[in-house]
């Protein structure tokens, strides 16, 4: 591995350019689809049914969606597009609705009371809120690039497919070359992601992801009418057989998976907090100058840009199957995100002229003042960490994702769908508990990150 890092090579990666374009194309189309649908849903997000449906949709990880749609559509481009677009649409709906709710309504007072609702929205509200929409959508595209790369692990031709192939073949020089290329892609977003280029990307992206695969509508019909129906019900057996089947699934798979997922996610949550508290000074003006902060920013960008799934995959191959690779991968990624946010927040702290330096400044001046915001960000990431913990089971760690993937491999989609539903419901409970804790402590997540 170290030799590969010192000698990265693109030799033997003939399709890497295509994989890079596929990664960007899936991300652009998935985020665009999610943004358009999410914007429409945000306008009616006050409807309880819309809020509940969006909460369920976004609580299922993109990779779980991909595993579902692969069963329906195969490796058709629609699989990747829907796997990204559906949860992103639900997320956009929530965040866009919050932006609309928190926007300044001052401009509305200058309008004619007889103005139509569409005119009021596009001429009075949208111009004031446009920058907030733009900023969050840009952030979500960065998330989309990470998710798009990970889709390669289910067979779609993105960078994740090349990475897993190179790793399994022991081609570590190629592994590092792919990772470096991915870091450069994310770090250079501000150069190639410009509004003037977006129409070009949206027009060309469908041609880039197109392939020769066809959708079998018989498979789609069978998925809804047979595959996901519990076997006892499908065979017309009595309800007692269904309850026996349900009890077996809950006791043998769901319960162990829930326990392992909760334990791993809680350890990862605490570890993420520790890493964030240790690392945020690297990017804070209170501790380092421009040169030191640039190095700190580079470190945090690498850590938060590496998808947890990719990092856990690498660590599993190095350390073997256990919870440790998942804990480290989750802690490094989420800790880097929180550290970045806390570092930016600490820049706003006003110090006295006689403020201490070094560790005293850290322990007695800065940490006490940013700790409330730190808890807010940490609790905000709690639901995300649980969702990511569940999906890491696909790599062989005994979380809920392990049992879901095993059921899919055994073509027992009825079991897989029930386990995915259980994962989503627990995710909703954690999200609700997190909101209540933040509300009770009067903590506010200034930057909404998921």
Q: What is the pLDDT of residues 291-333, one digit of tens each?
A: 999 999 889 988 888 888 888 988 888 888 888 999 999 999 9
How far does Cα 90 stand from its chain's mean position?
13
- Which residues fall within 8 angstroms of residue 12, CB to CB, at 6 or more apart? 171, 174
Which range has highest mean pLDDT (6-20, 163-177, 233-247)?
A: 233-247
Is pLDDT at 79 greater than 90 in this prediction?
yes
Res 105: pLDDT? 63
- Higher-pLDDT residue of 110 and 4 is 4
Is pLDDT at 280 greater than 60 in this prediction?
yes
* pLDDT, tens digit, 9 for 90 and up, residues 111-165: 666 666 666 666 666 777 777 788 888 888 888 998 999 898 888 889 888 888 8
Q: Domains along the chain?
A: 2-218 (1.10.3720.10), 234-440 (1.10.3720.10)
Is pLDDT at 210 greater than 90 in this prediction?
no
Res 443: pLDDT? 64
Res 114: pLDDT? 62
* pLDDT, tens digit, 9 for 90 and up, residues 246-273: 999 999 999 999 999 999 999 999 999 9
| Local structure of 177: helix, strand or coil | helix
Q: Cα–Cα distance between 267 and 262 in angstroms, integer? A: 9
Q: Cα–Cα distance between 152 and 24 in angstroms, integer? A: 12
Q: Residues 288, 282: contact at Cβ < 8 Å?
A: yes
Structure tokens that stand for 232 in this block: 């006892």
Q: What percent of the chain has pLDDT over 70?
A: 92
Is pLDDT at 12 greater than 80 in this prediction?
no
Q: Provide the 8-state DSSP code for 306.
A: S
The band of 106, judged by pLDDT with boundaries at 50, 70 and 90, is low
The band of 449, judged by pLDDT with boundaries at 50, 70 and 90, is very low
Res 121: pLDDT? 67
Kindly state the average pLDDT of the residues 374-383.
88
Res 447: pLDDT? 47
Q: Which of 153, 154, 156 has the alpha carbon at shortest distance from 166?
A: 153
Is pLDDT at 179 greater than 70 in this prediction?
yes
| Residue count (the chain) | 450
Give pTM, 2 decimals.
Answer: 0.85
Q: Per-residue DSSP letters for 276-299?
A: HHHHGGGG-TTT--HHHHHHHHHH
Res 448: pLDDT? 44
Q: Cα–Cα distance between 394 and 309 in angstroms, integer? A: 9
Structure tokens that stand for 42 in this block: 């945000």
Structure tokens that stand for 262 in this block: 């909760």
Cα distance between the two ends of the chain? 31
- Which residues fall within 8 angstroms of residue 30, CB to CB, at 6 or more apart? 80, 81, 83, 84, 85, 88, 144, 147, 148
Output the average pLDDT for the chain: 86
Res 250: pLDDT? 93
By CB atoms closer than 10 A (0-12, 13-18, 19+), residue 353 is: exposed
- Which residues fall within 8 angstroms of residue 240, CB to CB, at 6 or more apart? none
Q: Residues 49, 101: contact at Cβ < 8 Å?
A: no
- Which residues fall within 8 angstroms of residue 292, CB to CB, at 6 or more apart? 282
Q: Residues 384, 334: contact at Cβ < 8 Å?
A: yes
By CB atoms closer than 10 A (0-12, 13-18, 19+), residue 240 is: exposed
Is pLDDT at 445 greater than 60 in this prediction?
no
């Amino acid at each position: 591995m170290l030799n590969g890092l010192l000698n990265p090579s693109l030799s033997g990666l003939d399709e890497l350019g295509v994989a890079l374009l596929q990664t960007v194309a899936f991300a652009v189309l998935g985020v665009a689809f999610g943004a358009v649908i999410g914007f429409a849903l945000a306008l009616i997000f006050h409807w309880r049914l819309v809020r509940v449906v969006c909460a369920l949709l976004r609580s299922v990880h993109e990779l779980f969606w991909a595993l579902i749609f692969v069963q329906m559509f195969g490796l058709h481009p629609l699989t990747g597009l829907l796997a990204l677009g559906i949860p992103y649409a639900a997320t956009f709906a929530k965040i866009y609705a919050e932006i609309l709710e928190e926007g300044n309504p001052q401009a509305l007072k200058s309008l004619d009371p007889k103005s139509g609702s569409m005119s009021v929205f596009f001429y009075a509200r949208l111009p004031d809120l446009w920058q907030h929409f733009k900023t969050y959508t840009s952030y979500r595209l960065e998330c989309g690039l990470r998710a798009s790369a990970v889709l390669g692990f289910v067979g779609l031709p993105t960078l994740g497919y090349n990475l897993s192939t190179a790793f399994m073949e022991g081609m570590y020089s190629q592994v590092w070359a792919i990772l470096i290329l991915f870091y450069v892609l994310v770090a250079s977003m501000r150069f190639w992601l410009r509004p003037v280029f977006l129409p070009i990307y949206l027009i060309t992206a469908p041609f880039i992801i197109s392939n020769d695969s066809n959708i079998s509508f018989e498979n789609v019909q069978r998925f809804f009418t047979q595959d996901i129906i519990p076997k006892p019900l499908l065979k017309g057996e009595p309800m007692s057989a269904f309850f026996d089947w349900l009890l077996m699934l809950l006791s043998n798979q769901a319960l162990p998976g829930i326990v392992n997922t909760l334990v791993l996610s809680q350890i990862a949550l605490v570890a993420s907090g520790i890493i964030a508290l240790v690392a945020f000074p690297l990017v804070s003006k209170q501790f380092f100058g421009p040169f030191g902060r640039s190095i700190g920013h580079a470190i945090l960008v690498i850590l938060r840009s590496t998808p947890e799934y990719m990092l856990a995959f690498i660590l599993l191959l190095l350390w073997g199957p256990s919870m440790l690779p998942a804990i480290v991968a989750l802690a490094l990624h989420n800790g880097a995100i929180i550290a970045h946010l806390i570092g930016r927040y600490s820049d706003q702290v006003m110090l006295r002229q006689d403020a201490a330096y070094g560790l005293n400044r850290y322990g007695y001046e800065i940490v006490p003042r940013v700790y409330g915001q730190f808890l807010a960000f940490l609790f905000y990431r709690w639901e995300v960490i649980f969702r990511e913990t569940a999906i890491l089971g696909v790599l062989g760690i005994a979380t809920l994702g392990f049992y879901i993937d095993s059921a899919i491999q055994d073509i027992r989609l009825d079991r897989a769908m029930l386990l995915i539903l259980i994962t989503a419901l627990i995710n909703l409970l954690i999200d609700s508990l997190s909101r209540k804790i933040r509300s009770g402590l009067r903590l506010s997540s200034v930057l909404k990150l998921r």
